[in-house]
Structures are given as C-alpha cells and as structure tokens.
Structure 1
Amino acid sequence: MPYIKHQALKIYHHLSDFKKLENAVVTIGTFDGVHFGHRKIVSRLVETANATGGETVILTFFPHPRLIIDPENQELKMINTINEKAAILESLGVNHLIITPFTRDFSNLSPDEYINQVLVDTIGVKHIIVGYDHRFGKDRKGCMEDLINAGKVQGFDVEEIPEQDIHDVAVSSTQIRRALLSGDVALAATYLGYHFSLKGRVIKGDKIGRTIGFPTANIFVEESYKLIPADGIYAVTVDLNEGSFKGMAYIGQRPTINGMTRNIEVNIFDFSQEIYGQDITMTFMEFLRHDVKFTGLEALKVQLQQDKEDTLAFFNKMSN
C-alpha cells in the first residue's frame, strides 16, 4: 500500500512510494514535537503553497539520523511517535508527509545525487524552504549555495529560514526534552503549544493497587523510541473507548514493594471497567510529586489519597 490517507494528509513510508508532483513546496527536517518553532516553518510552507497553487511536502526521517550516524548512542528519545507527528502536521494543513528510512545508503548520497534523485526527480520540487544552516548529502557537504545553484539550473526556488527561527527550533526541542525528563510537563506544554501525551496498550499487572483501593491500568508503550517523562505522580486526562476521564498517572519502579522494572500506570477516577488490551492515551497536565519509597502499603495508601485530592484540586482550579 503506497500511502495511508489521513483525510487531507497522505503518508508515505518510502520515497519510492511517492508520485512526483507538478508543483511541490518542500521542507525537510525531523520536526520532533512539532512545537511553536516548527509551526513557523510549516505555516510558511502552507502559505507558499497556497500562493503558488502547489502542494506541501515534508520530508522527514525514521529512524532519527543521529541513531544511524552514531548507532552506539541510543539515548535519544522522541517527543512524538510517527503517528502523533502525522496527526499534528495534518491539523496544520500539510498535504504530503514522506517518512523515509534514514539508512547508510541514503546518508551516502552525494549532494548532487540528493538534489537530483530525491528533490527533483522523485518529489518534483518547485519551491524549497530550509534553514540557513541546512546541510545534506554525504558527510553533510551540501549547503545552501549548492541548493541555490541547482535551483537555477533545475528550475526551483530556494527560501532560507532566518537564523533566529532555526535557533528557536533547535533550542525548543532540547528544552522540551529536558523539561519532560525532569517531570516539568507544564513547561513542556508551554514550549509545545499542547500537552504531552503517551499512548499505550493496557496490560495485566499484579493488581496490588486494587488491594489498597487504587486500581491502576498498566500501560505498555510499544514505541521504544518514545520519550517517557521523569518518575513520579502526574495529574492526567485519560482517553479510551468509553470516553475521557481524569486520573493520576505513576511512572517508576514501585520502590515500596521493591519493584525491579519501570512501570507506567494510571488510576482512572470514577471508572471500574475491565480494559485489558485496549489502547488508551494519557495527557500529562501537571507534575504532583517525585517517586519515593514508603514504609509499607498502608503509608502508600495514605499518600495516594492525598495525591488524588491534589489531582482533583488541580482540575478544579483549571475549570475555574
């Protein structure tokens, strides 16, 4: 199947699946988070396409290029999964999203091969919008001057995004990851322009929460590259088949019962149905406290009751 259609957005998982356009308005990047800085670029992309009668194309890569170039470094985690990124880009009016595998062969394309084979022959670029420091091709030897010169010959325009805007994009992505890894989901939301979320499947746990009056749904996040926020307790909203609910999420190793693995769990308020095997989405609204080891389950139960009160107080404050 060449693409998956998301309303107006078409998603391609390889360049070979893409059918060359007559008037492609293109930008290139990882767009992780699709935050405010990215939205400046996407807005300009859509604006240019509307003005020229073109179609917008974003060329992105998966896995992240850094994981291929430096395979020993597997610590980089992504703010968005591919599906999350696609949904946001669709909402911003993007027509085509090419998620090409960033392989060794791809990274070995010379700058000329990259321009001719990828941008011109495959995509059909007529207007490309890239950052002032955009590098491409083998050993990142291709530069803005190469694009401009090729554009004069091949018949496409090149628009350079100002240095400050590109700096904002890079800094924001770093700041968002740093905020999430410290548990500051409110600050991350400020940078993103929306609240960070995790989607996963409900799996069976050991049901200890039920014994102290706080049953939890244990969440398995399939995408190993997805960033998980810092250990602790969070106020969250939970979306599942039965609707949207408030709750409190836990991330950690459950030190009170000498847990050995990192768990993601959520206590869903006013909800008691069995949802094993169902996909749910948790949206992180507020960090409540760090994970700590209690003297026993009774002490943990007392704290969880306080956590629930704090969570409800947070949501009440939001609604006022």
Structure 2
Amino acid sequence: METIQISNSSRHVKLAQAKPCVMALGFFDGVHIGHQQVIEEAKRVADEKKLPLCIMSFFPHPKEVLSNGRKTVPYLMPLSDKQRIFTQMGADTFYIIQFDSKFASLSPKEFVQHYLLDFKVELAVAGFDFTYGCRGEGNMDRMKDDSGGKITGIKVTKMECNGEKISSTLIRSLLFSGEVERISDYLGGSYQIEGKVTVNQACGDFYVHPYYLLPQSGVYDVTVSGKQMNTNLAAIVDDGDVKLIDTKGKKLPFNNDEVVRIHWNKRLPDSLYSQSDRAFHYQNHSVSNRVVV
C-alpha cells in the first residue's frame, strides 16, 4: 500500500498519481468494527468494479483545529497503525489530508471537487455520520448532487453492539474507566499500544509512543509482543507511568530499549499491588510471589 500525505500546497503535485478508484472516507481512529465495515464495503465494491481501493483520512483531528487548539483529542492510535491495518485490509493507497483552517473552510462542493473528483474517485463509501465541507454541511446523501452526478455515494448504516453505537468515543470511555476486556467487542480484538521497554530483572518500565491512550490507573493482565516472543505479564498503570511485571519473578524476555506491543486483556484486582512496599503480590498455584517494582 502506498501512503500519500497531502496539504493544500502539495495537492496539485499529487494529482498526477491519481487513478480511477473507490474511496473510503473517515477519520478511522482505532479502526473499530464500524470502520472496518466501511472499508470492507469499499473493498467489495472496488473488487466488483475492478478498481483500486483508496482510503482517505485526515490529520490532525478536526475538533483540535476547529477549536483553535482549545480541545485536545486523546487519539487511540497513530497513523502508522492505520497504515498497517489498511494494508492488511487490502487498500492500495492511503491518503492523509492535512486538516487545517483552510481545508475546514472548503464548501461541500469544493471538497468534493478538489479531493474526490480531482483524485478520480468514482464511488465514495463512508459511515452514516460522516460529514464534509465547512461546518459539516455535506453528507453522503448529497454526494451525487455535490459531484454533479459523477460520484456515487454509499452510506454504511450504524453498527451497534450490546445496545450501544460503536464509536471511537465509546472505546475511549472504556479505557478511561479501565474496562479493557469489553473493548474487544468493539475493536474485534484487544486494544494495543506500542512503546519502548527498559528491563530490570522481573519488571520493566514501559514508555508509550505518542498517539496512544493508556487505560485508567490500575493493575492489568496483558500480553506483550516483542521481536522474538509473546509473553503474558501484569501491567501497573499509575498516573501515566507503566510497569511491566513477570508474576513468576522471571527476568523479562526483552532487550533494553526494545520496542514492544502491549495487548490489554483484562483488569486485575488493584489489591495485587501494594503502594506501601511498592511490590506486586501474586498467588500462583498456592505459591505466593512478590515482585518489587
């Protein structure tokens, strides 16, 4: 998959690379199963029409720009994770549009002309709540009119799970409350973050990379993927700091400064970690383990 970053000043240069395509539109933070449904529908149509599948997203988040920096959006994943997932889903091109005040001021018809028609989009696919153009006045119901009849707009219906609309906002709220085990219902798998670990025998400090969201402070069961192996560990989240612990007291199987990925499985009782002696206490097959962190 090719990734192409586009700003207002570089747009004309990138047009030369454009080919007739099907375009999936959205911010896609977290790429939850609602987002996946949009991309899968776009892929189905692209295969049917024998056209490339392109995905268009935006950065930074529109709320940050439209609030003049007063609002900060807690991102679920960086662009690199979106690239990895979109590649796995069969996308041919990933367009990342620089969302700034000039882009935000485009009318719906200007957006369609400059970022869809000019990029040779024949069909556009988006979720039921996707909007475009100044003040979000454009939506998929008017795509045909805004494109002068040249683009067919396909609107994917709302997805719900457990009686709730699947959304990035819902997933953030579950992380803020520490309910990581529920997130797999909405993501189609566990929530993952990436960062660097420094090892000190049975425990290590984890430094999360930018644009990920940590769960609420507490103790968690996690799976950690490194270069050579995956291992089940405990993770203590304490006001933005993360400690990784082998509950059997074994040395962590990672190199210092190794980049690892944490899969958040479930929350454990907070009582396993003692603030007073800075130790993790774990009962394993009738054997009490104590790991000083």
**Please, what TM-score do these two structures have when normalized by structure 2?**
0.84
Q: Does structure 1 residue 228 correspond to structure 2 residue 214? A: yes
Q: Give the deviation of 1:165 after TM superposition.
A: 3.9
Alignment match, 1:82: 79
- The amino acid across from 2:251 in the alignment is F
Unaligned residue ranges in structure 1 (runs of 5+): 1-8, 254-261, 311-320
Q: CA deviation at 1:105?
A: 1.2
Aligned pair partner of 1:148 in 136, 144, 148 = 144
Name the structure 1 match of 2:131. Answer: 135
2:205 is matched with 218
Aligned residue in 1 for 2:232: 246
1:284 aligns with 264
For 1:258, the equivalent position in structure 2 comes to none
Paired residues in the alignment total 277
**Higher strand residue share:** 2
* Structural RMSD (CA): 2.8
Q: Distance in 2 between matches of 1:186 and 1:32?
A: 19
**Which residue does 2:189 correspond to in 1?**
194
The separation in 2 between residues aligned to 1:190 and 1:130, in whole angstroms, is 21
Paired-residue identity, %: 22
Deviations 1:110-159 (A, max 9, x none): 222211111111x2101111344432112222344542113344x22222
| 1:18 CA displacement | 5.9
Q: In structure 2, what is the equivalent of residue 13 of structure 1?
A: 5
Would you say the 8 A contact 1:26–1:58 is kept in 2? yes
Secondary structure of 1:86's match?
helix
Which protein is richer in helix relative to its size? 1
Q: Which amino acid aligns with 2:70?
A: E
> Bigger shift: 79-88 or 182-191?
79-88
* 1:38/1:169 contact within 8 Å kept: no
Shift of 1:273: 5.8
- Provide the C-alpha distance between the structure 1 equivalents of 2:64 and 2:122, rounded to a whole number of angstroms: 31
Paired with 1:73 and 1:228, the residues of 2 have a C-alpha distance of 19
Task: Give 1:291 shift.
Answer: 7.3
Runs of at least 5 residues in structure 2 that lack an aligned partner in the other structure: 287-293
Does 1:50 find its partner at 2:36?
no
User: 1:181 corresponds to which letter in structure 2?
Assistant: F
